Every structure is written in C-alpha cells, then in structure tokens.
Amino acid sequence: MRARGERMLAIYHSHPDMPPEPSARDIRGLGYPEALMLILGLDGVTTPTMRAWRCDMVNVSEVPITIID
C-alpha cells in the first residue's frame, strides 16, 4: 500500500456487547492513527449502529458519518 502511494482511510470493527465507542483497548491497539476508526455497535439492538472516530492516542473525537445513496 505504501509502495503504491496509497493511504489507509478507515479501519472498522464491531463491538458485539458494547456501544460503538472506542474502548481503552481500541485506543491502545491503534496501528494507524491517521485512519478513521469505524465501530459497529451490536449491543442487543435490532439495528446495528456505526460511528466514526478520530483517535491520536491522546485525543478521541467523533466524526459525523454521511451516507449518500
């Protein structure tokens, strides 16, 4: 990816039993702080919820998601 001049835009994962917010473990394991962290929350809801976060190991801020159909 780096050799081709590409960059990581986002990384996603799910939280089966928690809301879609970065956990301390998520932040500690952050390998690409320049990429958005997309988290799919499945915590007992009928419709999963996805939220996006920008994390730089110190600051965590939510980024609005807009889906264009």
Reported as a single tens digit per residue, the pLDDT across 3-33 is 999 988 999 999 988 899 999 999 888 888 8
CATH for 25: 3.40.140.10
Domain that holds residue 56: 10-63
Distance from C-alpha of 67 to C-alpha of 62, rounded to nearest angstrom:
16
Residue 57 has pLDDT above 90, yes or no: no
pTM over 0.75: yes
Distance from C-alpha of 1 to C-alpha of 39, rounded to nearest angstrom:
23
Distance from C-alpha of 7 to C-alpha of 39, rounded to nearest angstrom:
19
Number of compact structural domains in the chain: 1
Higher pLDDT, 10 or 56: 10
- Domain-located, residue 29: yes
- Domain-located, residue 69: no
